[in-house]
Amino acid sequence: MNSQDPPPPIISSARLLAFVVIPDTQPYTGRICLLVDGKRLERVPCLAICRNYRQPDDILLLFCDEDWNSLGCIGVASVEDGQLQAERDYPGLQSHWVDSPYDDPAIARYLRDELGVDPASEWWAFRCSFCLAECEGMAISQGNATICRRCINHFHASIHELDD
């Protein structure tokens, strides 16, 4: 996938509301100071405005690479506010924004077919695959499974009880 392709309906566990592929000729001011791993995030090729599934009141302006991977984000009040914030870095970008083409059935298909999750579930919650509790603190994920620290300790103790 590259920025010539439309973004997926879900980016970083957030539903796409609007997006823009930033033209190469678009001026860039660098007025938004977004630090990622201690380094300032510079010009990006794509922006997306999304609604966070985990906190539905949160609207996010995502700064994306050409494959629509989020490199960083800032919270905004609305789609319109996100577009205005983007104007600070990319003046004149307003006319390039596109509303998300995805309706609820398309998003459900994407979740099922591409992410392998049940659209009716709380798939965005970071839950332990064993105890089903929401993971707080340390957890390990591999593929579609996640295990929380409490279950790791429990299974570790159970395995070592068998040694005795």
- Whether residues 23 and 92 fall in one domain: yes
Q: Summarize pLDDT for 101-138 with one digit per residue, the tens.
A: 999 999 999 988 888 777 777 766 667 777 777 777 77
Residue with tokens 């577009």: 83
Using CA atoms, how far apart are residues 30 and 37, in angstroms rounded to an integer? 18
Residue with tokens 């660098």: 30
Whether residue 120 is contained in a domain is answered as no
- Whether residues 82 and 46 fall in one domain: yes
Tell me the Ramachandran region of residue 156: left when phi exceeds 0, alpha when psi lies from -120 to 50, beta otherwise.
alpha
Per-residue pLDDT band at 164 (split at 50, 70, 90): low
**pLDDT for residue 1 is more than 70:** no
- Whether residues 14 and 91 fall in one domain: yes
Whether residue 3 is contained in a domain is answered as no
- Whether residues 146 and 79 fall in one domain: no
- Whether residues 41 and 95 fall in one domain: yes
Whether residue 39 is contained in a domain is answered as yes
Contact 60, 73 (CB under 8 A): yes
Residue 162 structural domain: 126-164
- Whether residues 108 and 161 fall in one domain: no
- Whether residues 133 and 157 fall in one domain: yes
Using CA atoms, how far apart are residues 144 and 77, in angstroms rounded to an integer? 32
Q: Which pLDDT score is estimated for 125?
A: 66
- Whether residues 145 and 71 fall in one domain: no
- Whether residues 78 and 151 fall in one domain: no
- Whether residues 95 and 54 fall in one domain: yes
- Whether residues 103 and 24 fall in one domain: yes
- Whether residues 18 and 97 fall in one domain: yes
Whether residue 121 is contained in a domain is answered as no
Q: Which pLDDT score is estimated for 3?
A: 52
**Can you give the pTM of this predicted structure?**
0.75
Percentage of the chain beyond pLDDT 90 is 52
Contact 51, 58 (CB under 8 A): yes
Residue with tokens 């996938």: 1
Domain count, the chain: 2
Whether residue 4 is contained in a domain is answered as no
